[in-house]
Structure 1
Amino acid sequence: MMPGSPYFSPRLILTGAAMFGMLLALGVHILGQRFGLDLGDLWGDATGGMIPIRAAIAWWLIAAVAFGSGHITATLLHSAVSGHLPRRLQHALIAGGLLLLIAAGQAASGPSPVPTLHGVSNGMVALMLGAAMAYAGAHFALARTKAS
């Protein structure tokens, strides 16, 4: 470690990136439900034993957003701590993430297109999927920054 550079625990970066990725994945899940992307169709009554394409799209969309945002957030947090990220970019990224979460809150406040118990179970599955994928993305980002 170079003198004068602040120490920031990698576990704290990993936790923050995983939580932010999980929240963004949950926000995308809520917004996706408004567009008919229902994650619960994976275990519902499928016709002919085929998985509905909308459920597969919802699953992959949530996983990709969580993994990508966990990876990007961990990289950006590491850059911000080391002083390589401009302040304006930090503020713009925070504002973008907050706008997505605000849009998800707006979408969640209206009447839901899915039944309550079904929506709660879908939300929990999306939350767990988002947490696992965001953690994986953040872990890979921190491993890459340690290697370089």
Structure 2
Amino acid sequence: MATKPAYFSRHIVLAGSVLFGVLLALGIHIIIQRFNLNLGDLWRSNVPELIPARAALAWWLIGTVAFLAGFISASLMNSAVSGRISLRLRQFLIAVGVIMLAAAGQAAAAPSPIPSLSGALAGLAALGLGAVMSLCGAQFALRRN
């Protein structure tokens, strides 16, 4: 008699994927601020440069990373629980996650070049965008399986 592969509940997969997507979106938000790409530039009126284009690029980067994080984490959670993911791939993904979070922590430790109110609004916008996009990515991955 063959054993059936185990699966996580759909709610657990969605919650884990959204959590991972939000963390990654906030990490990307912190890192790209150091490259002068900030969502908070939308609320600044004292710089007449190409602010909307830089803010839009930051918006798209955060959204894309969160969507991919939700999609990949939902796919991997389904694969990992049933034993279809190799140990080396699992270790590689853990190492990438740790390096990403360490880079975000190092970038967040430096003084912020943006005003605090627009920085707080940008952080909340990145948090909301990360949650919505990672949920969409996880839903897409779960429907595909």
RMSD over aligned CA atoms reads: 1.8
Shift of 1:44: 3.6
Instruction: Give identity over the alignment, percent.
Output: 54
Q: What is the total number of aligned residue pairs between the two structures?
A: 143
Please show how residues 1-148 of structure 1 align to structure 2 within 5 Å. 3-45=3-45, 47=48, 52-145=52-145
For 1:58, the aligned partner's letter is A
Q: After superposition, give the CA deviation of every residue in 1:32-79 in whole Å (9 maximum; x if it has no partner).
A: 11110010223443859x862110100000000000111011001111
Return the alpha-carbon distance in structure 2 between the equivalents of residues 8 and 27 of structure 1: 26
Amino acid in the other structure paired with 1:71? F
TM-score (norm 1): 0.89
Letter in 2 for 1:76: L
Letter in 2 for 1:95: A
Partner Cα distance (1:42, 1:121) in 2: 10
Structure 2: how far apart are the matches of 1:124 and 1:33? 14
Q: Letter of the 2:126 partner, please give it.
A: A
Amino acid at match of 2:73: T
